[in-house]
Each structure stands twice: as structure tokens, then as C-alpha cells.
Structure 1
């Protein structure tokens, strides 16, 4: 993902997602429902990929999902307003597949397999552990917003497929779906 236009269709999905999150009580007016935890995810660890990366917060403004900065390709981002990994609900982490000249944090994401482990360290010192259920590559025109932003579990999202040089973006997204198998605790 060398430039932000590649995520344009993900942003469109984010608009739909924002509406879905409000409908399902995952966003919107925070004073109207339970107060969200001040705990945030800080690091993602995927042993099978040899990946350990810091996480930053990604805001959602006017229905558009912020992306990790392109000048920090080894950083992934947690979409604020989704569940904190280890808590109930959908938790979404985005990362770039590459930059103009090098692989980025989620470059190997498409090689993940069912049953592999994903760990997310949180600011409260706890670690949530997930098991990969499925990996899919989907056209950005058919981004499955409900599966990513509404269904329970951890979702990792990056670009994939062929690069369209005319539109300066990848045609697809690679999405990893994972289920919580070990709630957040103090053990790493």
C-alpha cells in the first residue's frame, strides 16, 4: 500500500461500518451506553510469521477509518471504537502490506493458516490470545463490513491481490478472522 487511495474502498466500508457500529451499540454517543475501558492494545505478536509490532490507535472520523502512517511501515493500528482485543466484540487491526519500496508489517499476512496463534498485548499488562479460523482474499468492491466490524473476534486487514497501476491501489483485501481462545490475563 504505497498510497492512501488503495484504501478508498475500505474507507467506504468504514462509513457503512460506522453506521452498523452505532446500530449495534459499538459506537456513536459514548454517553448513551456503558463507558468503554481505557485499556488499549499496544502490541501484536504473530509467532508463525515472526512478527512483533507496536499498535497505534486509528480514529474513525466522519465514517472514515484512519490508516497507519506510510512512513511507519512496521506499525499496525487498532481501529478505536472496535473492541479492545481480549474483550467481547469485534476487534479490528489494520496494517500495510508494503510501501513503495519495501514490505510492511502485514506483508506475510496472506500466508497465515487456520489454527495459528495471534497474541495482543494490552496497556493493562494483559495478553489476549486468538486462534485463526479463516483467511480470505476479497475484492475491495465486496468488502464484508458486517463480518469484519460486527461479528465477534479479532480481524486483521491489509491489501492484497493484484496491484492496479492505473488506480494506484491493490484490487483486494486480505482478512484474517480469529477467535478468542484465551481471555486477556497477565501471562504473556
Structure 2
């Protein structure tokens, strides 16, 4: 049974990576300039939760999406293969719910409600403002990769649900879906 679970996780990781690569290629334009390509999100602000978190770049390694390091629990990470928040495409930001000893940046994420505001400060000085559409808690086994990586908007993702002590991980993901309201300077 454990071997079957391992293969399921490998297949899911491969599918997620494929969706990410499709989303990245879908969003790349021919007229993209080097200056435009260097814009990155710098900070995530969620006023309703009291979150002001620095953002770091995350990539994909061996088919797995990298996560922010546990020794930086107040930092969230932007998946650099996704859209820059404020631009067309799916912008994905991940953060831990907790560490072995303390709450982390997305500890309160499951408390988000439709209509609340999320802001992302970018390196070009613009602030991308989003409105929360919905919040979903879903099993990691049924992760909605197409909805997360292929549809326009901001996606905030953390762990949730019950903790699986055998695997040392949460069984679910909490996902916040948000729509761009405006990008301002």
C-alpha cells in the first residue's frame, strides 16, 4: 500500500509540473522585454489577517514545487514559473501554516472570506490589488491543478486539515482564489 501511495504522489507531482509549464508557456508573450521580465513580487499584504510578509522566489525541483524554508516562517514564496501578480495568468504564492513549534505566515489563511482584499507589492512599484472569490480546503490527493495553475487570478496555498503523523504532513491544502481588481502605481 505504501508503494502505491508513493507512485500516486509521483504521478500527481508530474501532473502539477506539467500544468505549471503549460501555464508558464501560455503567459509568455513575444514582446516581453528584459525589463518586464525582471519584475517580481516583493511583499504580500492581507489587511484583514494582519499579514505583511516578504516574498521570495520559489522554483520547481525534481518535479516538486519548492517551499519557503522552515527557518523563515514569516516569509511566503511566489512560484516564479507562475504569472507576476498584477499580470494576466495565474499567480501562485505559497506559505507554511506552521512549523514544529510556532504558527507560520499562512496560519490564519483559512479565516479569509469572500470580498476581502489582498495586495501584492511589486518590484516595479505597482501594487496589485485582488478581491477574494472563494476559499477551498481540498485533499492533497485531489489537488485542483487546472483551477490553480491555468485560470487567471491570485492563488494563495498552504497546508490544512488533519496532520498525518506517519507521513509528517497535513492531508489537505487550503487554497484562496482571488481576482485582480486593479494594479496601481
Same fold by TM-score greater than 0.5? yes
Deviation track 1:72-109 (CA, whole Å, cap 9, x = no partner) reads 00000000110000000000000000000100000000
1:120–1:80 distance in 2 versus 1, CA, 3 Å: same
User: Which aligned pairs between 1:25-36 and structure 2 lie closer than 5 A?
Assistant: 26-27=24-25, 35=32
The residue correspondences of 1:25-174 to structure 2 (distance < 5 A) are: 26-27=24-25, 35=32, 37-174=37-174
Note if contact 1:18-1:27 (Cα within 8 Å) is conserved in structure 2.
Answer: no
What are the superposed Cα offsets for residues 21-40 of structure 1, whole Å, 9 maximum, x if unpaired?
A: 4345x149x8x955462100
Range moving further from structure 2, 86-95 or 33-42: 33-42
Unaligned segments of structure 2, at least 5 residues: 1-7
Structure with bigger RCO (C-alpha 8 Å, 6+ apart): 1
The two structures have a TM-score, normalised by structure 1, of: 0.86
Whole-angstrom distance in 1 between the partners of 2:37 and 2:46: 24
Structure 1 or 2, whichever has the larger Rg, is 2
Supply the distance in 2 between the matched residues of 1:17 and 1:46 (Cα, whole angstroms). 27
State the distance in 2 between where 1:90 and 1:39 align.
15
Encode CA deviations 1:50-78: one digit per residue, 9 max, x unaligned. Answer: 00000000012332211100100000000
TM-score by length of 2: 0.87
SS at match of 1:174: strand
Higher helix share: 2
**Is the 2:21–2:81 Cα contact (8 Å) retained in structure 1?**
no
| Unpaired runs of at least 5, structure 1 | 1-7
CA distance in 1, matches of 2:104, 2:174: 14
Q: Do the aligned partners of residues 164 and 77 (structure 1) sit closer, same or farther apart at CA in structure 2, a change above 3 Å counting?
A: same
Match of 1:4 in 2: none
3-state SS in 1 of match to 2:134: strand
Asked if the contact 1:18/1:63 (under 8 Å) is kept, the reply is yes
Tell me the CA shift for residue 130 of structure 1.
Answer: 0.1
Partners of 1:101 and 1:21 in 2: CA distance: 32
Query: Over aligned residues, Cα RMSD in angstroms?
Result: 2.1
User: What is the total number of aligned residue pairs between the two structures?
Assistant: 174
